[in-house]
Chain A
Amino acid sequence: MSLLIESAMVLLVLTNLTLLGLSRLRSCIRVVAVQGIVLGLLPLAAHADDLAPRIILLAGGTVALKGFVFPWMLLRALRVANVRHEVEPIVGYTLSIVIGIAGFGMSLWVGSRLTIPGAAAPPLVLPVALFTILVGLFVIVSRRKALTQVLGYLVLENGMYAFGIVLVGEIPMLVELGVLLDVFVAVLVMGIAIYHISREYDHIDVDELDALRG
């Protein structure tokens, strides 16, 4: 069981690093989808001994939403926006990966220092969650396209989700559903915004949205 979780964690790290190195927006969306599926299945692996229907339901919902609905919505936004499908990063791909590895080392260090009372999760989960959050933030600031910022937000959210599994374990169903719903609406609204931005400007480069200052 712990090997299962460990493998999932390594998979998460790999999806993060891949996301940093990919140049096609389409592939980036797919990688984030894979990450969402792995995360959605994580609670199943964590509670493999006693599978309550609640956990199965949540896992199913998460997988369906993060693995299939979000990518579909984002791919659709990409198609409708009809912009260049390259990521065009501010920080290059190779450097991004190197930064990513450095970030992972740092998360491991922080994770080993941070003591959460009574956290009974496998040791790797905390640093990987931190790493995922870091990668999310990095993608938001180091990529130009509005779409990649949405992906960054999703990765950030994934990291927090993993964090929640480690730290709290038992989040009330209502809260989890609310969070899922919020993320869903966030992606929906951001997708609409991307559509409008592409209509208004013929691009979705966020660093050219700089009319408002002071």
Chain B
Amino acid sequence: MANPTAEKLSRDEYFYGHKACAGCGGALAVRAALKVLGQNAVSVLPAGCMSAVGFNFPQLCFSNNSIISTFAGTASMLTGIEAGLRAKGYSDFTAVGFAGDGGTADIGIQALSGAIDRNDNIIYICYDNEAYMNTGIQKSGLTPFGARTTTTPAGANIHGNLRPKKNMFEIAAAHDIPYAATASVGYLTDFIRKVEKASQIKGTKYIHVIAPCPTGWGIQPDETVEIAKEVVDCGLWYLAEYENGEFTLNHRPKDFSSVEAYLKKQGRFRHLDLDDIKTVIASRDKKWEFIGKNFTYR
């Protein structure tokens, strides 16, 4: 029985035997993207979960050329690799980076901005698990409002993280980048289509994929995919693209599923009270109002 998405992918496995936690959304994102890009992908991974679990000499879990960059240096190393390979006469390759939310929105944002500014011919994929998971669940610039992390503990006075997620997708778009997209591993076919599309565009491409972390989110390992779908269905994340100066919405839930149900499934949000949940819903509605005005649904 043919699976049209599977048919598009390489049968080879490029990220295999790694030590990511069971049910890791980040590992799924990296695996799927590399199966789109194939053997001539050169992957750059900064210090973070995916490099920590994939590159412990002599256990080296990438079958394509792959390299760890400095934490802040995903984009700048991609630039160097792309320029270096081109200078050495190679043209048939894809330089792709896989950085987490902290590596992208916090410590790596300067280098990423520089690469987009130069329009270097690279794909930058942010696998967003919404906290510094590799160091043990600390708040990043992409940790959502209300989430309990080890540096935003939930107590009687403060209910976890007080700030909303930084809007990396629109920050990338504001550079007038050739292509930017949001995705979720819960909608894998959509993510795969976007990686494929990015691979055919020249210049800088940015894809922001939600990749749940069972350990950090307080869910069971087998819930990764459904929670990544639910975050889209309840409207707290959205599937969109930016191209030629325009925003496109790829998926519009007819009715949002319950935000409360989404939150209460996760240990990191279990402490939230009704007022907190109202705040989350109000912020979601404001976002969708913006999307309604500025994004075209196709």
Q: Do A and B truly interact?
A: no
